[in-house]
Amino acid sequence: MGRSPCCSKEGLNRGAWTALEDKILTSYIKVHGEGKWRNLPKRAGLKRCGKSCRLRWLNYLRPDIKRGNISHDEEELIIRLHKLLGNRWSLIAGRLPGRTDNEIKNYWNTTLGKKAKAQPLSSQSKSNKLKKQAIDSDTAEPSDSTADKVQVIRTRATRCTKALVPLTHSQLVLPTDDHDQIYNRNSTSTDPLQPQVVQQNYLVDHPHNQDSNNSNLGYGDEEAQENMHGAFYSADFLNLSCCNEFEGSNFDEKMESATAAAGYINSNISIDQDQSQLQNLNETTTMDCWTTACLEDNATINFESLAFLLDPEEWP
DNA sequence: AATAATTTCAACCGCGTTATT
DNA sequence: CAATAACGCGGTTGAAATTAT
């Protein structure tokens, strides 16, 4: 009853790939495209299992791949992302064009992990250190005083095959004191609580471009509100970004930074999970839905804890 | 120069999740 | 609904390269 092996191991090559194998694989994929890995070796005439072919292509043969010479900026970014995400190498790699999860993982294990441990806060600006101190005091765990205690946000790695259109700005109601209403002024859906599921290439207006006077934040601090707006919108936004539809979109720098920062929160969550959460919701707010869907177990989201990532200076 | 120890990184492996039948 | 296929992820391994003795 167990899971069947991905391919028969008998008579297959293992270990390092030869130049000829690389050539065969590359030309096959150039003609037929990626995917169908299980059948690929047979069709291409390779004595490798599909998994091995996939790995070779993704980590080595893809034309857009950068290899070696990881820049200082990239290092900084990896360290920050690792603080935020932990060992979610594919998510981290997703923000470093041309880098693979395997390369980043290796680089971390051999180089950056040690560096990060040795100089945990060395590169942070004073203001961000202050922000971070405030954050740490808010989210402090009763642990040792090392810099490793920054809360890691873990999402579920799932395949994204369709996108849930985020509510537009005027449809959003951030948490209110009584948690009693969700309005949806511009909705085309008959039921304001029903998510609108569309195909991947469906474009929606980004809330950034819309009027911003309708939110009802329960937060006094203006900066926190602003950061939260950015983070929240961007978190929605990145749901689509994870489907590769928004890469390279033309937003201003700050918004991109916010997008990048907040996107990590849920860039890889299952849209269907969201959908079911939304369908089941009763008196919870939209925000509750997103955060519930985004986080596992007992983790709680604190958008302000991402504020330091919203500073454009902090992102290359 | 020889050998041991350490580092690097490509590749493998097992497992979780979604898609398909 | 269950079983299976397919995909993708993160942890681990081990050969090759490099450095230390």
pLDDT by 10s per residue, chain A, length 316: 333 445 555 677 888 888 888 889 888 888 888 888 888 888 888 888 888 898 889 888 888 888 778 888 888 888 888 888 888 888 888 888 888 888 888 888 888 877 766 665 444 333 333 333 332 333 333 333 333 344 444 443 333 333 344 433 333 333 333 333 322 323 333 332 333 333 222 222 232 333 333 333 223 333 333 333 333 333 333 333 333 333 333 333 333 433 344 333 333 333 333 333 333 333 233 333 333 333 333 333 343 444 444 343 444 4
pLDDT on residue A163: 38
Asked if strand B comes closer than 7 Å to A266 Cβ, the answer is no
Q: How far apart are CA A308 and CA A301, in angstroms?
A: 15
pLDDT on residue A116: 67
Q: Is the Cβ–Cβ distance between A262 and A294 less than 8 Å? A: no
pLDDT on residue A41: 86
pLDDT on residue A227: 38
Shortest CA to C1' contact from A91: nucleotide: C9
Asked if strand C comes closer than 7 Å to A32 Cβ, the answer is no
Q: Is the dihedral of CA A298, A304, A308, A312 positive or negative?
A: positive
Q: Give the CA-to-C1' distance from A91 to C21 in angstroms.
A: 42
The whole-angstrom distance between residue A13's C-alpha and the CA centroid of its chain comes to 35
> Reduced to 3 states, what is the DSSP secondary structure of residue A198?
strand
Please give the structure tokens belonging to residue A209.
């471009």
Q: Which residue is nearest to nucleotide B8 (CA to C1')?
A: A110
Q: Which residue is nearest to nucleotide B13 (CA to C1')?
A: A51
Map tokens 């489907």 to a residue: A243
pLDDT on residue A73: 85
Residues 69-98 of A with CB under 7 A from strand C: 87-91
pLDDT on residue A169: 38
Q: How far apart are CA A172 and CA A286, in angstroms?
A: 7
Map tokens 């997103």 to a residue: A290
Asked if strand B comes closer than 7 Å to A159 Cβ, the answer is yes
pLDDT on residue A10: 62
Shortest CA to C1' contact from A39: nucleotide: C6
H or E, element range at A164: strand A163-165
Return the DSSP state at A196: E
Q: Give the CA-to-C1' distance from A283 to C12 in angstroms.
A: 46
